[in-house]
Amino acid sequence: MTERPFAGDTARFYRRYRREYPPELIARLARFSESGRGRLLDLGCGTGQLALQLARHFSEVVGIDPEPEMLREAELAAAERGIGANVRWIIGRAEDLGRLEATLGRFDLVTIGTALHLMEPLPTLGEVQRVAAGGEVAVAYNGSPMWLHPEPWARALRGVLEARLGTLDDIDFTAEALDGADIAMRELGYSHIERWEHRFTEAIDADFVVGHILSATSTEQIPPGQREAFAQEVSKAMAAVTTSGRLVEEVSVRAVIGQASQ
Ligand SMILES: C[S@@+](CC[C@H](N)C(=O)[O-])C[C@H]1O[C@@H](n2cnc3c(N)ncnc32)[C@H](O)[C@@H]1O
């Protein structure tokens, strides 16, 4: 794996092609900000998907991520939406939380959106428990890997990807990470641990599939010079399995939510 998988164009594709979290999850998490006065920490915030959607419900939001180019996109996304006064971005990793704790203070909610699989669950949720003492922690995944979906278009996509990248794992790392979060929270003494899920279907097209995959692969895996060819391969594969050009994605957004002990 490359050292900076979310650098360069991957960050730009991430901001443009990752769908928003559903309003149902935002409403669920907004409850943890009493009278809108809560403080939110979004760890592994990337381009700010979750942090920015929650920002209007919290008085203060801090997003932490090790990839400066993802944070640059987060800044642009915030400016685009006219959000910013209550949000700040910090370059850092989950592993830095202990060091940052004294300056950051305590949070009412800590979110880890589509990112726990890139961290060590037990030490991370241990550190998070300290900065969220008595507050809530939500590990969320905005869907599961597209190439593992059962629909014919997703199987066709998998074929295109495997021809380029080699055999892909059958393991759903998002489900594994959620199970890992659940186990770690129980081991660490979190309380009120809840599994949350919201399912819906959405019409997508080949352009969205290409953009989504480019947001999930590094520029070493699919270099910019090969993007056009990749887009054509995907379009051709999609056209072979659908006559209408209309693709439907079954999306499952899941979270493990728990209360950190005091
Ligand atoms: C798939 S993106 C998720 C972005 C955003 N949170 C979302 O919900 O869409 C994963 C992010 O985790 C970050 N990341 C990777 N390792 C990390 C670590 N050890 N600590 C904190 N963030 C990390 C990456 O830089 C990347 O921006």
Single-letter code of the amino acid located at 107: F
Does some domain include residue 140? Answer: yes
Which of 65, 125, 253 to mutate for ligand 1's pocket (most ligand atoms within 8 Å of CB)?
A: 65
CA of 217 to the centre of ligand 1 (A): 13
Are residues 89 and 60 in contact, defined by beta-carbon separation less than 8 angstroms? no
- List the domain range (segments joined by +) for residue 28: 9-144+171-201+249-259
Give CA separation, 213 vs 129, 180, 209, in Å.
Answer: 33, 25, 6
pLDDT, position 49: 97
Sign of CA dihedral 118, 122, 126, 127: negative
Does some domain include residue 224? Answer: no
CA of 93 to the centre of ligand 1 (A): 9
Residues in the chain with pLDDT < 70?
Answer: 1
> The CATH number of the domain where 38 resides is what?
3.40.50.150
Does some domain include residue 77? Answer: yes
Please name the residue whose Cα sits nearest to atom 22 of ligand 1: 44
pLDDT, position 1: 59
Does some domain include residue 96? Answer: yes
Task: Specify the number of domains making up the chain.
Answer: 1
pLDDT, position 182: 98
Q: What is the pLDDT of residues 68-115, one digit of tens each?
A: 999 999 999 999 999 989 999 999 999 999 999 999 999 999 999 999
Does some domain include residue 1? Answer: no
| CB neighbour list of residue 150: distance below 8 Å, 6 or more residues apart | none
Does some domain include residue 109? Answer: yes
